[in-house]
Structure 1
């Protein structure tokens, strides 16, 4: 992505809701070199922050309901979580979890777009989001997979004011033209039971090597390493508990 740090309207954080915290921490530590950290937020329901060097880059949390899927969640930064929740409703989305304070770290709300994809909105307090973007092992791109491209494009531009760079092949989202993510229409090739969702992509030094390492560690490859025309080399993986995530070559953002 062309963002180097969290900014208002852009992605600021990603966290994994998982059925096996210890296994997930081992898998991503081996894959990306993450180090589980300690701090006051980790005392809340098992929430654990992953570090890359000194930077906070992602988090793990246990599932709190049987119906909750194992999945990565993407959060976008807002200046006012309550106003953002109202903007979601006015634009045709819905609020799943109303705004609430997370200690002094910030204020969080969870929403769903008109196509069904769930996302988070984060009003920073003492915590603004990831301390590193685009470097190997950190968040480098976010992608929306949806069956309702027209309605969600209207929705996100209204809620966040995103700029849209669209071609016949791909649509990219940006903040004042600085692209940070994209959108893929879910056609007939996607199983009907797979819902619309946001997918984080993590930067890596070598996509093929990382995909092989994920398989050896008990994960699987959903989309084989592919070189995008005029773009990076990418792959989509599944961790041992079933969470999907993408990888792409570091240094080829946006």
Structure 2
């Protein structure tokens, strides 16, 4: 559709891609340090949105791909990356989560142009939901930064049932995500692409947060080794990596963990 002689930008909402990851957000104690670190490691640029000075949008190729909020110390939250999943109705998704043993930390609350809520599944893994217009257009966001998100949990099959019912995976509705089983992992696909994985093995009572149920964000990069060295040079920690490997687990200076994964050539 053309408007005033130019191609109108497609408005993509969470109604058309529901159930899939649509955004990732970092809570941190030091906004400036986080900006410098992720600029060095992932090449991001930054801009301030309408939510105030304590919030930033990360830009990749000029498009928003992630959010960072300096609220970890204010709200006594851990520094962490959190994935958000698109839903047609935040209220209905929250209700389904609570009915199935999940908990609600925040929301739903209005964040124009949509509404968001922060939840935890019945094993304690934190995730978010988003209802409304997607920040950067889902297809661009999906290909620009996160490769996928992975849930490390106690029982992948049980977790898939919880998320499937809350986020309406494998339903008959147009746009629903598909679910496949691959050994110990449950694989979530949207429009034929892998967008999330659920892996068994986390222990609910483990003293190490990395071993407790949690979502891990995997960012697609062109050069994993360069990201590893940049993280080391800017106050981060390399948690798992071997020379030549196509994946590395890193943490930023505030302790938020994430994974860099070699970008798939298209």
User: What TM-score bracket applies, with the shorter chain setting the length?
Assistant: 0.7 to 0.9
Q: What are the residue-to-residue correspondences of 1:69-148 with 2, within 5 Å? A: 69-102=78-111, 104-125=112-133, 127=135, 131-135=140-144, 138-148=145-155
Unaligned runs of 5+ in 2: 1-12, 170-177
Q: What are the residue-to-residue correspondences of 1:105-254 with 2, within 5 Å? A: 105-125=113-133, 127=135, 131-135=140-144, 138-162=145-169, 163-175=178-190, 178-187=193-202, 191-194=206-209, 195-225=212-242, 233-251=246-264
| TM-score normalised by the chain length of structure 2 | 0.81
Q: Distance in 1 between matches of 2:167 and 2:78?
A: 26
Q: Distance in 2 between matches of 1:128 and 1:80?
A: 19
Instruction: Indicate conservation of the 8 Å contact 1:12/1:128, yes or no.
Output: no
In the alignment, which residue of structure 1 is the partner of 2:44? 34
Unaligned runs of 5+ in 1: none
Q: Distance in 1 between matches of 2:22 and 2:216?
A: 14
Q: What are the residue-to-residue correspondences of 1:56-71 with 2, within 5 Å? A: 56-62=64-70, 63-65=72-74, 67-71=76-80
| TM-score normalised by the chain length of structure 1 | 0.84
Deviation at 1:97, TM superposition (A): 1.6
Instruction: Indicate conservation of the 8 Å contact 1:202/1:247, yes or no.
Output: yes
Equivalenced residue count is 239
Q: Distance in 1 between matches of 2:152 and 2:116?
A: 23
Q: Which moved more, 1:211-220 or 1:7-16?
A: 211-220
Q: Distance in 1 between matches of 2:188 and 2:134?
A: 27
Q: Which moved more, 1:239-248 or 1:202-211?
A: 202-211
Deviation at 1:210, TM superposition (A): 1.4
Larger radius of gyration between Structure 1 and Structure 2: 2
When residues 176 and 227 of structure 1 are mapped into structure 2, their CA distance, relative to the original with a 3 A threshold, is: farther
Q: Aligned Cα RMSD in Å?
A: 2.5
